[in-house]
Structure 1
């Protein structure tokens, strides 16, 4: 097989020195046209496939990728992504890869612009970015295209930005799936609550927008008679503020027994139910973060949809590594599995697939 061919074998077949073959394979200068033609003729005849790992190691170049994500608390979806990024760097340390993480404040376009300006000033080899608004993100990605800097979109897919690749769930299908599962236990209800966290009338991400589209599409098609009551919980408020809003909601809607949220904050409602000893309430949420998992184990959350945040972070770095360092083609869409967790299987869930 071509992979077992030695440089010495190629040199003998083409009638040149081992050093000349090595320079040609690594695209180094000081090779005559005649020698290059001889070697390339032999390479074509034997269908030679270079060992890209060995070549990349031999080149001994360093690479810096930047990862731009929202500011966040500990024990969140984003923290797991950071852990996946760190693990990918650890496994590729022989290739001198470093990933620097920059943060922006969600909903704050000035913060996003300041962060991407800082990133561009550092002239990265590749970028991982969680999009903000479409227009402001396009300002950034247009500049990346101009500089021919490859970038991977994480969490929210925006095809119009023309990324090298996307890593995350198929959000619309995920929302459709969430509705289908919820209706296994809520099909006899007249009303259900859709809890959102928004600011200035905007959802946190395109991902959540698409989940809501899928969720409502299923509900319209299969359960049009069930009324969806939307409850907006403001961002970054304390427990007492949330408790007051939830108390008022359930006082006005005493027949609501099922709640869904398409973000990672199901534990806000779950903890409220636990503190108030609410029985018979069913909550469905997203992301296997510890606060949600605790509520799942205690029964105040019935279902969680997991999306392997750790693996998303890992695959983003790995995609840039394969494309930039190994010069391989990469998949344009990398969808994470849509996995359903309950208190019976949550302790068997594994964040990693390494």
Structure 2
């Protein structure tokens, strides 16, 4: 065999197999119009050379369009999921050469049927891939079963459902995050006998697998290390925010000695802003996520710690992984845990300036 260049080109393979460049291209991409004898010669040469096609160039040349569907909880501008959408848009911009697009749909996190209905619409649209924030497993399964039937890959962000295995997952280890949060909270206390968990809830639905798993991890730590500490609960109405302050007034009136608490959702600012208004109430609060209102409460002292999980990066990496898998034919890592970052008023500004 003649000496070959360091970088094997299609024309080198064509010369060795004594066929045209077009024939080699058709064999590499599995297209028809090649005789069995020519296909066999080309495949033998490819195997001998361990040829790896340039998938980037091939994808560009194909001019195929890739449409993705994203299913996220309903939210207001500036809330947690806004950052996820920012990451999705950034990923689409990064892969714009490949004609990528995404349609974002929303579901009511306190209404499981809303998730099912939105999922059906997504399946009917026949996207190339799906990025979703799962709801309760039995309702998520309705969507993932349909996607599996259609051979549509899907990626979870925010929370993982092990029994409904996705192509990939990006998010925190929720259980470990809650376990860690309990340890941090109890480091603040001086042998307190009572602490409180604040929730946003609607008709018994918390609205997030992640919040539920964080609480499970939190309670496991408390059971193992502080079994005698009483855990109080205050469930604020998710769809009646006007009642928040009234319910918080009632709680602190009934429990004047409670000085430590946590909320597992991204709305620590609800309690933090209340505490700022009622400055006579000393309280240590741990919350989640870098919403502007949460950060303000952190700097003003009504939130003691925030635990961050990089939602923008979850959205970006979710779409990036779909592109890598579908377009560039790359192998992908299934479980991708985000860091559990503990932030205070003293280090928050440095964290916000960290480049990706």
TM-score interval for Structure 1 and Structure 2 normalised by the shorter chain:
over 0.9
Structure 1's unaligned 5+ residue stretches are: none
Check if 1:44 corresponds to 2:33.
no
Please give the secondary structure, in 2, of the residue aligned with 1:283: strand
Counterpart Cα distance in 1 of 2:355 and 2:169: 18
TM-score, structure 2 length as denominator?
0.94
Check if 1:107 corresponds to 2:89.
no
> Does the CA contact (< 8 Å) of 1:310 and 1:351 recur in 2?
no
Deviation at 1:3, TM superposition (A): 7.7
Structure 2 residue aligned with 1:150, among 153, 169, 173? 153
Counterpart Cα distance in 2 of 1:165 and 1:17: 40
Please give the secondary structure, in 2, of the residue aligned with 1:203: coil
Counterpart position of 1:283: 285
Deviation at 1:14, TM superposition (A): 2.4
> Does the CA contact (< 8 Å) of 2:202 and 2:239 recur in 1?
no
Structure 2 residue aligned with 1:253, among 231, 237, 255? 255
Structure 1 residue aligned with 2:204, among 191, 201, 214? 201
Please give the secondary structure, in 2, of the residue aligned with 1:27: coil
Please give the secondary structure, in 2, of the residue aligned with 1:337: coil
Counterpart position of 1:340: 342
Counterpart Cα distance in 2 of 1:304 and 1:242: 21
Please give the secondary structure, in 2, of the residue aligned with 1:161: coil
TM-score, structure 1 length as denominator?
0.95
Check if 1:271 corresponds to 2:237.
no
Counterpart position of 1:312: 314
Counterpart position of 2:67: 64
Matches within 5 A, 1:97-176: 97-176=100-179
Counterpart Cα distance in 2 of 1:125 and 1:46: 32
CA spacing shift, 1:89–1:351, aligned 2, 3 Å: farther
Counterpart position of 2:96: 93
> Does the CA contact (< 8 Å) of 2:285 and 2:305 recur in 1?
yes
1:133-162 CA-partner distances (Å, limit 9, x unpaired): 222221111111111111112212112222
Counterpart position of 2:331: 329
Counterpart Cα distance in 2 of 1:109 and 1:271: 30
> Does the CA contact (< 8 Å) of 1:155 and 1:167 recur in 2?
yes
CA spacing shift, 1:284–1:3, aligned 2, 3 Å: farther
Deviation at 1:187, TM superposition (A): 4.3
Counterpart Cα distance in 2 of 1:109 and 1:221: 33
1:219-259 CA-partner distances (Å, limit 9, x unpaired): 111111221111111113235x2111111111111111111
Counterpart Cα distance in 1 of 2:190 and 2:123: 51
Counterpart Cα distance in 1 of 2:355 and 2:137: 31
Please give the secondary structure, in 2, of the residue aligned with 1:34: helix
Structure 2's unaligned 5+ residue stretches are: none
> Does the CA contact (< 8 Å) of 1:67 and 1:129 recur in 2?
yes
Deviation at 1:279, TM superposition (A): 5.4
Structure 1 residue aligned with 2:246, among 239, 244, 247? 244
Deviation at 1:60, TM superposition (A): 0.8
CA spacing shift, 1:121–1:3, aligned 2, 3 Å: farther
Counterpart position of 2:231: 228
> Does the CA contact (< 8 Å) of 1:281 and 1:300 recur in 2?
yes
> Does the CA contact (< 8 Å) of 1:107 and 1:132 recur in 2?
no
The alignment's C-alpha RMSD in Å is 1.8
